[in-house]
């Protein structure tokens, strides 16, 4: 039975990933900040284990990795993310909020990889996936703004490209996805993409990824995105 470990599994895209992988027969190690208030996640049928994890708590990431020693993890999925503070416009930047956003969106995924690399290396699929955003692309940035979120996702993308280089000789693939503008709390009610459809599409792409795909930035519809 393949195993996935994911962050931010209690709502939005993360909840969809947990539900869909569980329905597909995977062992799902689902993490979230507040399991006591994660009723939807706890209601997911299948082999789902819920662990408390705030990804900004690096000691907690280390402790979870120790707790899971001996558990091969086929897919490490960094899904948790935040849009960042309201004050993100030129001339009105919340710098402390920027640092907090960086910690969640870019540093925590790196810490997850550092802590769980042996679990991933011991698995069959050996896949590290992060949910990034098109807003992190330099090429796609034709309208400016979004300094905080954009730069945090661009940093995540840079992390993944280095991982692709550094982990190739261990046979571990590193891929980032744009999930589309999806109707979650982050995407809002006007977003055109159904979160379940986004996750179904990403899962079918991930199913067919191999080490040769490492270092790719992929849209949920399978199209490559320029860095």
Ligand X SMILES: NC(=O)c1ccc[n+]([C@@H]2O[C@H](COP(=O)([O-])OP(=O)(O)OC[C@H]3O[C@@H](n4cnc5c(N)ncnc54)[C@H](OP(=O)(O)O)[C@@H]3O)[C@@H](O)[C@H]2O)c1
Closest approach of Cβ 8 to ligand X, in Å? 3
Residue 110 or 121 with smaller CB distance to ligand X: 110
Beta bridge partners, 127, equal 75, 173
- The verdict on 61 binding ligand X (CB under 6 A) reads no
- Judged by DSSP in three states, 174 sits in strand
- The verdict on 206 binding ligand X (CB under 6 A) reads no
Residue 36 per-residue DSSP state = G
**Does the CA dihedral 39-41-46-48 come out positive or negative?**
negative
Closest approach of Cβ 52 to ligand X, in Å? 9
Q: What are phi and psi of 69, to 5 degrees?
A: -55, 135
Instruction: Single out the segment in contact with ligand X by CB under 6 A; choices: 59-67, 162-170, 178-186, 203-211.
Output: 178-186
Closest approach of Cβ 75 to ligand X, in Å? 15
Closest approach of Cβ 86 to ligand X, in Å? 15
Q: Is 220 a catalytic residue?
A: no
- The verdict on 12 binding ligand X (CB under 6 A) reads yes
C-alpha distances (whole Å) from 53 to each of 65, 108, 197 are 11, 11, 26
Radius of gyration, alpha carbons of the chain? 16
Cβ neighbours of residue 20 closer than 8 Å, sequence gap 6 or more: 196, 199, 200, 203
**Interface characters, 17-56, with ligand X (x: CB under 6 A):** ---------------xxx-------------------xxx
Query: d(Cα 1, Cα 115) in Å, to the nearest integer?
Result: 22
Member of 3, 10, 123, 214 binding ligand X (CB under 6 A): 10
Query: d(Cα 99, Cα 86) in Å, to the nearest integer?
Result: 14
On whether the CB atoms of residues 215 and 165 are closer than 8 A, the answer is yes
- The verdict on 136 binding ligand X (CB under 6 A) reads no
**Interface characters, 94-113, with ligand X (x: CB under 6 A):** ----------x---------
DSSP H or E run through 88: strand 88-89
Member of 3, 101, 184, 214 binding ligand X (CB under 6 A): 184
- The verdict on 7 binding ligand X (CB under 6 A) reads yes
95, 147, 149, 220: the active-site residue: 149
Q: Summarize as ranges the residues that interact with ligand X (CB under 6 A).
A: 7-8, 10-14, 32-34, 54-56, 79-82, 104, 131, 133, 178-179, 181-182, 184-187, 191
The residues annotated with a catalytic role in the active site are 149
């Amino acid at each position: 039975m393949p195993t996935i470990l994911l962050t931010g599994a209690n709502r939005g895209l993360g909840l969809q990933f947990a539900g869909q992988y569980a329905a597909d027969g995977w062992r799902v190690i689902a993490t979230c900040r507040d399991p006591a208030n994660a009723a939807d996640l706890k209601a997911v049928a299948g082999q789902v284990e819920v662990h408390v994890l705030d990804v900004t708590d690096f000691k907690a990431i280390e402790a979870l990795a120790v707790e899971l020693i001996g558990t091969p993890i086929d897919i490490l999925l960094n899904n948790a993310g935040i849009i960042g503070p309201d004050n993100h416009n030129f001339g009105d930047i919340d710098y402390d909020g920027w640092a907090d956003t960086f910690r969640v969106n870019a540093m925590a995924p790196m810490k997850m990889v550092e802590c769980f690399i042996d679990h991933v290396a011991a698995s069959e699929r050996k896949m590290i996936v992060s949910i990034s955003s098109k807003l992190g692309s330099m090429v796609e940035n034709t309208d400016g703004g979004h300094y905080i979120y954009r730069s945090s996702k661009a940093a995540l993308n840079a992390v993944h490209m280095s991982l692709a280089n550094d982990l190739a000789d261990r046979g571990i693939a590193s891929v980032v996805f744009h999930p589309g503008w999806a109707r979650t709390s982050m995407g809002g009610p006007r977003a055109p993409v159904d979160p379940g459809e986004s996750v179904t599409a990403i899962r079918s792409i991930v199913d067919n990824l191999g080490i040769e795909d490492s270092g790719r930035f992929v849209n949920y519809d399978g199209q490559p995105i320029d860095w």
